[in-house]
Structure 1
Amino acid sequence: MCGIVAYVGPREACPLVLKGLKRLEYRGYDSAGVALLNGEGLKVYKKKGKVADLEQELAGKDLHATIGMGHTRWATHGEPNDVNAHPHYSFHRGLAIIHNGIIENYAAIKKSLIKKGREFRSETDSEVLIQFIEDIQENAACSLEEAVRLALQEVVGAYAIVVMSENDPTQLIAARKGSPLVIGVGENEFFFASDATPIIEYTKEVVYLNDYEIAIVRNGALTILTLDNTQTVPYVQTVELELAAIEKGGFDHFMLKEIFEQPRSIADSMRGRVQAAEGYLQLGGLRDYMDQLANSQRIVIIGCGTSWHAGLVAEYIFEELARIPVEVEYASEFRYRNPIIKERDVVIAISQSGETADTLAAIELAKAKGATIFGVCNVVGSSIARATHAGAYTHAGPEIGVASTKAFTAQVTVLTLMALAAAERKGTISNSLLRQLLAEMDSIPAKVEKVLESAAKIREIAQIFTYARNFIYLGRGMNFPVALEGALKLKEISYIHAEGYPAAEMKHGPIALIDEDMPVVVIATKDSSYEKVVSNIQEVKARKGRVIAITTEGDKHLPDMVDFVIEIPKVHEVLLPLISVIPLQILAYDIAVMRGRNVDQPRNLAKSVTVE
């Protein structure tokens, strides 16, 4: 959600900031803007729509500046329009701010400022914050960084902010709480961004700002203070991210590229952790906490969206292999229902970005109740990685497409390894089965490659169903979460209404929807539920539903029963989700493209949901 880019140094700031905003378009947004400081003073330009619309607005203007900042906004307070877009001026226009997050007590602050005679141009909480900072600076006769510090001690909510002042062309001030912010450190130059993607073209040396920290860049030097005015030493890290990883590489869309990257991302998520020939399994990030995992009374898995679906898959696998009871919770609901958490419980928090606000809030609640918290996320140095006791990175690489694909399979891969490690430590899995499953996991990347070879056939099926207004997805056992994930992918990027159900639940309601216009996608692989799923297919066909079946290679029975068949390689039942989800991703992608949708940036959605 929202994107921040800022720069101060010897380069021209505007083209650098605009390029950075384009790199952050994947996060989801509805307006964009920049602030530049030059001989003409502090100038703000902003526009509803895409960065390309902003560029048109900037055409012909004097944009020379070596300090500037930009923002892509995802509307929370106030509708998407030019006025509510960021950056926002202070009342006297001497300051400007860009802000990610939500200031929850903005209304009370705004009311007090109005009493002092201040007027507001926008409906946003962000303008309230910059006016508040200006008011403090004027009335306390203090420095800007002190005014920022004092203001942030009063606000309630989440924020990542960058502030510019007309009075100092060498200064940027930034702060964060609950919303990510990274600082790139170059030679006599500094970069600020929501994540590292706009920065790595210029430097790989970065500082991840912590919650309740304020960063001040002035005259080529970086200082970091806490909200209680304690100076800290910046911890500079090297980002292991290549520019090619965040470019399309010849694919039409990032989503398609990421679908086809899954053989590698799954392999990378196992690299160094699995040596199949030796039956070796080691998760370094969990080494000191394996006893807590194996001996836990209960595992609670929390996540949102696709991560929640990965958690549902993990529920089946942990209970099957490690014999530990598992509950899977929406992170957004977990904190609001006074959950019962005990000290011997383990909470596994799943998030691609590692910044999901609901998941972070759930982590803090569970920690306060004494649980051991494991994180499964993709972004090194992210908030969830730092907030948890232990965990494992997925190593999927950057995922730019808003609809998660390789993140899901990487999460399922890591969660499967965690379940296997717990089962081995607990003694609930035989050595022969462990070796078999590790060997099969080692073969998964090649089997995913084989499914990807069916892309042309899936495209032909997709073309037939571009007319559809509704879809039903059915699966049983470990394929039920895959049905949910397949339906979510279609909803997210094609805007077709789709629902996933356990196949046996169809006759408890959804069967009323089935007619000749209702496509039904059924995951009917050769597993312990196969015969039951075949019966469910017969129920659909008896009502003239059109069935697309995901089947195991060599199935001679189903092709005569269904309308369309997509084959996948045979794999152990525990590992089926890693294979069966692939054709559903491709199907959703192709239908969306054929319907002319913006696949990488679907409407109303954001990649990293950093507000509640």
Structure 2
Amino acid sequence: MCGIVGYVGDRDCSEILLSGLQRLEYRGYDSAGIAIGTADGSVKMRRAEGKLSSLFRAFHEDPFDGCIGLGHTRWATHGRPSERNAHPHKAGRVIVAHNGIIENYAELKKKLAKEGREFKSETDTEVIAHLIDHALQKGTESLHQAVGSALKVVDGSYALVVMEADKPEELVVARNASPMVIGTEGDQVFAASDVPAVLPYTREFIYLEDGDTAVLKKGSVEVFDASGEPAERESKRINWDPVSAEKQGYKHFMLKEIHEQPARITDALRGRVSVDRGDVDFGEMGFDEEWIKGLDKIVFVACGTSYYAAQVAKYTIEELARVPVEVDLASEFRYRNPLITENTLCIPVSQSGETADTLAAMRQASELGAKCLAICNVIESTIAREAEGVVYTQAGPEIGVASTKAFTTQLAVVSMLAVWLGRRRGTLDAEEAREILQALRDVPGTMDKMLHEKAIYKHIAYNYSDVNSCLYLGRGNLYPIACEGALKLKEISYIHAEGYAAGEMKHGPIALIDENLPVVILVPKNRVYEKVFSNLEEVKARQGQLIALATEGDNGVRDFADVVLEIPDVPEYIQPLLSVVVMQLLAYHVADFKGTDVDQPRNLAKSVTVE
């Protein structure tokens, strides 16, 4: 991860590669590099840690050029951000840039090392370069065949661009569960992980499908399907302007990021979940499992949306791992005298890993003797560096200020964490863990189907966008989702909204209910269904405008609610992940109808780095 650019044609390409990487900066990265086949028949590389400005400086101190090359911006998944872990990677005469994760890289690396292969990086990507080079040394006829041979033993996701140093005349690209497009313009051929990278040079794009490979030469593109047979892939003309291209045709980054959630949750689960074993692998965490068994409590500290993810975690962890869980607003934790011991696990949750209050709360807990496990999205952020352990959410860069995919990947991680803790503490058997993990694995596919529904949200936006206030009600692990739904609405539409525990409605908020107040109530089938249904009836008796989130096919709710939004019938642990998508779409369409600045709401910042 995270951005790829490739070129082969009839013009010098250093500027194409560097500017292409620059147009992918919005995706986030921690290092970058390029490799170019020069006129003398050799390939030169330049890599640098940090921002692209570092790579630009290094390149311009000793420039080189040629008519074929590839570039990459990396967002670390295996190995810390550094020059030696930056892409492209070279093994023998093979040069590779890679997006994705190779799940069986450790096994392959061990085998290759026994055969005398030397590794220069900590990455999973370098394994691919060695596999391809190994195939070439065994006499494989072409680079394309060598790539195909290597990919037969690789498990995981990839978007690859490969070049052979001895014959810098062609690029071989491949795709599986990670995007890759090919652009064409006359004799020029481009490869990119995203359209914006090369949009100034071409508007004609071929979208590869999972399992596809392609050979790119000056003036020609040959595409092959997963079985290695030649395949026809239609070329499509893109008429987006560059800013729209970054949004991939979506009206706003927020909407794009809502639709990215199935893929990002897949990334969060990949390499960690084993349904067969009924267990979760957090190899990167680094905590002693005996210490985990002796925990006396867990304390979450977080702000905003991350706080609601922590509240969901409380329900799941206490249920599955049978350990007390406290959830504190980080800004409040800082100014009380919390009871922390050496057997306390503090879990700061932060998208950016730089949230000032969360960082300060973590430091305070650490000073009091707690061990700290960070849940965050940004590699090598301050919170990630200072905690004893870290689990990255793999959400990728989030441009919209109102968090969406960062939140759902946090939910996925805390769900896995609950299973991991339960298995190690002996409170969760393998069979129950298998059921939970399988349900979690099914989430991306289910969520993807839900995201195709638009009409009902536009109908709600039309009818409710002029209201002044809205009440959200939920119970159990959906109470935090009601709060998150209210937060989303107020953040981007500027409509006052309040999330409330449904059982507390009679203790105050019921005074607000009349025919002018929309009430969003989360009432899918679960252990508290009857209780929440009673709250729904109480709202209806007072003429409140009811927008209900219910399980598909629940006609009982339809008899009472003015509008029904549905989620599939899924286990209770999974309901927050699907319910929040409904809350996001509801808020988005209301805000879009009102014409507010969805991506950059007034007065808000993406990362709150001050108190």
Q: What is the TM-score normalised by the length of structure 2?
A: 0.63
Instruction: Quickly say closer, same or farther: Cα 1:563–1:203, change in 2 above 3 A.
Output: same
For residue 287 of structure 2, give the secondary structure of its aligned residue in structure 1.
Answer: helix
Shift of 1:388: 0.6
Matching residue of 1:564: 563
Amino acid at match of 1:608: S
Matching residue of 2:385: 386
Matching residue of 1:339: 338
Contact 1:205 1:236 in 2 (8 A): no
Amino acid at match of 2:555: K
Amino acid at match of 2:565: I
Contact 1:517 1:545 in 2 (8 A): yes
Identity %: 48
Shift of 1:463: 1.6
Matching residue of 2:73: 204
CA distance in 1, matches of 2:25, 2:433: 45
Matching residue of 1:165: none
1:238 aligns with 2:86: yes
Shift of 1:238: 2.7
Instruction: Quickly say closer, same or farther: Cα 1:24–1:204, change in 2 above 3 A.
Output: closer
Q: How many residues align?
A: 411
Shift of 1:204: 3.3
Contact 1:184 1:206 in 2 (8 A): no
Amino acid at match of 2:372: I
Contact 2:279 2:420 in 1 (8 A): no
CA distance in 1, matches of 2:82, 2:284: 24
Q: Gaps spanning 5+ residues in structure 1: where?
A: 1-10, 26-180, 192-200, 208-232
Matching residue of 2:205: none
Contact 1:294 1:322 in 2 (8 A): no
Deviations 1:325-369 (A, max 9, x none): 000011112112132211100001101111111111111111111
Shift of 1:446: 1.3
CA distance in 2, matches of 1:206, 1:410: 17
Amino acid at match of 2:584: Q
Deviations 1:446-493 (A, max 9, x none): 111222122222221222101111000000000000000000000100
Matching residue of 1:296: 295
Shift of 1:433: 1.0
Matching residue of 1:516: 515
1:186 aligns with 2:55: yes
For residue 374 of structure 1, give the secondary structure of its aligned residue in structure 2.
Answer: strand
CA distance in 2, matches of 1:335, 1:312: 18
Deviations 1:46-99 (A, max 9, x none): xxxxxxxxxxxxxxxxxxxxxxxxxxxxxxxxxxxxxxxxxxxxxxxxxxxxxx
Instruction: Quickly say closer, same or farther: Cα 1:270–1:425, change in 2 above 3 A.
Output: same
For residue 567 of structure 1, give the secondary structure of its aligned residue in structure 2.
Answer: strand
Instruction: Quickly say closer, same or farther: Cα 1:252–1:187, change in 2 above 3 A.
Output: closer
For residue 478 of structure 1, give the secondary structure of its aligned residue in structure 2.
Answer: helix
Instruction: Quickly say closer, same or farther: Cα 1:287–1:542, change in 2 above 3 A.
Output: same
1:28-177 equivalent positions in 2, closer than 5 A: none
Contact 1:303 1:330 in 2 (8 A): yes
Contact 1:266 1:410 in 2 (8 A): yes
Matching residue of 2:397: 398
Amino acid at match of 1:477: G
Instruction: Quickly say closer, same or farther: Cα 1:290–1:409, change in 2 above 3 A.
Output: farther
Matching residue of 1:372: 371
For residue 288 of structure 1, give the secondary structure of its aligned residue in structure 2.
Answer: coil
Matching residue of 1:225: none
For residue 310 of structure 2, give the secondary structure of its aligned residue in structure 1.
Answer: helix
Shift of 1:610: 1.0
Instruction: Quickly say closer, same or farther: Cα 1:484–1:187, change in 2 above 3 A.
Output: closer
Deviations 1:201-258 (A, max 9, x none): 9873799xxxxxxxxxxxxxxxxxxxxxxxxx98665388766699211111010001
For residue 257 of structure 1, give the secondary structure of its aligned residue in structure 2.
Answer: helix
Shift of 1:287: 4.5
CA distance in 1, matches of 2:82, 2:539: 61
Matching residue of 2:428: 429
Q: Gaps spanning 5+ residues in structure 2: where?
A: 1-13, 29-49, 61-69, 88-97, 100-192, 197-244
Amino acid at match of 1:249: Q
Contact 1:292 1:372 in 2 (8 A): no
For residue 514 of structure 2, give the secondary structure of its aligned residue in structure 1.
Answer: coil
1:507 aligns with 2:376: no
Amino acid at match of 1:185: S
Matching residue of 2:168: none
CA distance in 1, matches of 2:557, 2:350: 37
Contact 1:300 1:329 in 2 (8 A): yes
Contact 2:470 2:496 in 1 (8 A): yes
For residue 57 of structure 2, give the secondary structure of its aligned residue in structure 1.
Answer: coil
Shift of 1:183: 6.9
Instruction: Quickly say closer, same or farther: Cα 1:22–1:494, change in 2 above 3 A.
Output: farther
Contact 2:279 2:433 in 1 (8 A): no
CA distance in 1, matches of 2:497, 2:338: 30
Contact 2:472 2:482 in 1 (8 A): yes
CA distance in 1, matches of 2:84, 2:354: 20
Shift of 1:526: 0.1
Higher relative contact order (CA 8 A, sep 6+): 1
Judge which range, 516-525 or 239-248, deviates more: 239-248
Amino acid at match of 1:283: F
Shift of 1:263: 0.9
CA distance in 1, matches of 2:529, 2:389: 38
1:242-253 equivalent positions in 2, closer than 5 A: 247-253=246-252
Matching residue of 1:125: none
